[in-house]
Amino acid sequence: MLSRLLAAGALAAASLLPSAPASAQVAMRVGVIPIVGAAPIFVANGAGWLKAAGIDTRVTTFESGPNMIQALASGTIDVYVAGVMPLAVARSKGIESKVLTATAIEEMVFVAGPKLAAYFTDGVSAADALKAFRAKEGKAAKLAAQPPGSVPNTTLQHWLYAVSKADKGDTEIISMGIDATQQAVLVGAVDGAAIREPALTIVQGRNPNIKLVATGGQMFPSQPGTVVAVTPAFLAAQPAAVQSLVDGLVRADALLKEKPAEAAPFVEAALGKGIVDAATITKALTSPASRFVADPRVIIEATAKMQAYQVSIGTLDKEAPLEGLFEPRFYEQAVRAAKK
């Protein structure tokens, strides 16, 4: 239900923008997951910059990047705004896309519910905390993340098994969508979860006993997160619209970094007015889980490392060359234009 409301909020926000003549508009179908990491597209659209550039933005909300890949493959969306790793997985299966910009890095954090949080005390490693939980509670810690192949799932596994060296028998990873994960943490249906903003601010605001255990940098250094990618077909047909899109994203990135309070209303409108309030969004925009980065070149090395890790855990059969996945020329042009 929340996903439908979020999608409705995003579409409603777009519909409030002044209309341009139909003949001047390029229809751009955008798939997005409702997270703060996607804030640049919400700001660029909500502020009216895309409409002013002749782009009619049509937004559809998805629960995760892997769920969005089918829409990308079928041609029902032109622009993908979600984690980079599902794109790498899709590319290995012949589904092409071009990453135009990053939006944020190190988005994923790990939170422990009140019961599990009691085991994460000063001086106790994550592996020992999870082992102690299993010994005392008589069961493995149930941890939620989005589906295998997603950035949240990959990041959680990396932190648990590559960084913390936790025993796999001490954990059980449950695949859930964004809405379900947030609710499961709040009601205690899971013991911990890999989440992003605004979920982090929301769950801690409702229950201060939910503990932030690991930041994005601790889970996977320079963790690649949300990106904006486009289908080759749309890029070939509408290069000017793609450049205008990236111009808007670069402008939004600057506003989010320099004046987050001014950007917050656009993000609030897109994430569902009345569900997530402005104060929560403003706090989420400046939290440890919000590191906005537009330059796609910043995440290339980290994406390669994450892809190699996905091969090691069986999410990918083999590493796919990343050459050709990233298309930084539109970002470079936007930066040059912004400096004039």
The pair of three-digit structure tokens given for residue 198, joined into one six-digit string: 């605004």
Provide the pLDDT for residue 177: 87
Provide the pLDDT for residue 120: 97
Long-range contacts of the stretch 263-266 (C-beta < 8 A, 24+): 263/39, 263/43, 265/46, 266/13, 266/42, 266/43, 266/45, 266/46, 266/47
Distances (CA, A) of 44 to 35, 50, 51, 165, 321: 15, 6, 9, 41, 31
Amino acid occupying residue 2: L
Provide the pLDDT for residue 162: 97
What pLDDT digit, counting tens, does each position of 211-250 carry?
999 999 999 999 998 999 999 999 999 999 999 999 999 9
Q: Largest Cα–Cα distance of the chain, in whole Å?
A: 67
Token pair 């001047």 is found at 24
Provide the pLDDT for residue 7: 42
Give CA–CA dist 36/26, Å, rounded: 26
Give CA–CA dist 151/144, Å, rounded: 13
59-87 mean pLDDT = 91
Q: What order do you get walking across the sheet with 26-32 strand by strand?
A: 55-61, 26-32, 79-83, 226-230, 98-102
Asked if omega into 198 is within 30° of 0 (cis), the reply is yes
Strand-pair category, 192-195 with 109-112 = antiparallel
Q: Would you call 147 exposed, middle or buried from its count of C-beta atoms within 10 A (0-12, 13-18, 19+)? A: middle
* Confidence at 273, pLDDT banded by 50, 70, 90: low
304-323 mean pLDDT = 88
Provide the pLDDT for residue 267: 95
Strands (E), the chain: 26-32, 55-61, 79-83, 98-102, 104-105, 109-112, 141-145, 171-175, 192-195, 211-214, 226-230, 291-292
Give CA–CA dist 250/272, Å, rounded: 23
Give CA–CA dist 16/69, Å, rounded: 29
Question: How high is the mean pLDDT of the chain?
Answer: 90
- How many other β-carbons are positioned within 10 Å of the β-carbon of residue 95? 16
What pLDDT digit, counting tens, does each position of 22-45 carry?
345 999 999 999 899 999 999 999
Provide the pLDDT for residue 276: 80
Give CA–CA dist 124/211, Å, rounded: 15
Provide the pLDDT for residue 2: 38
- How many other β-carbons are positioned within 10 Å of the β-carbon of residue 291? 19
Token pair 């599990």 is found at 116
Greater confidence (242 vs 17) lies with 242
Token pair 């080759």 is found at 232
* Confidence at 322, pLDDT banded by 50, 70, 90: confident
Amino acid occupying residue 288: P
Contact 121, 115 (CB under 8 A): no
Checking if the pLDDT of 132 tops 60, the result is: yes
* Confidence at 64, pLDDT banded by 50, 70, 90: confident
Q: Is 337 helix (H, G, I), strand (E, B) or coil?
A: helix
Greater confidence (47 vs 151) lies with 47
Query: Among 5-14, 21-30, 282-291, which stretch is predicted with the lowest mean pLDDT?
Result: 5-14
Q: Which of 190, 150, 149, 196 is nearest to 173 (CA)?
A: 190
Provide the pLDDT for residue 274: 65
- The reported pTM is 0.84
Checking if the pLDDT of 11 tops 50, the result is: no
Go through the domains of the chain in sequence order and give each one's CATH number.
2-105+223-339 (3.40.190.10), 109-219 (3.40.190.10)
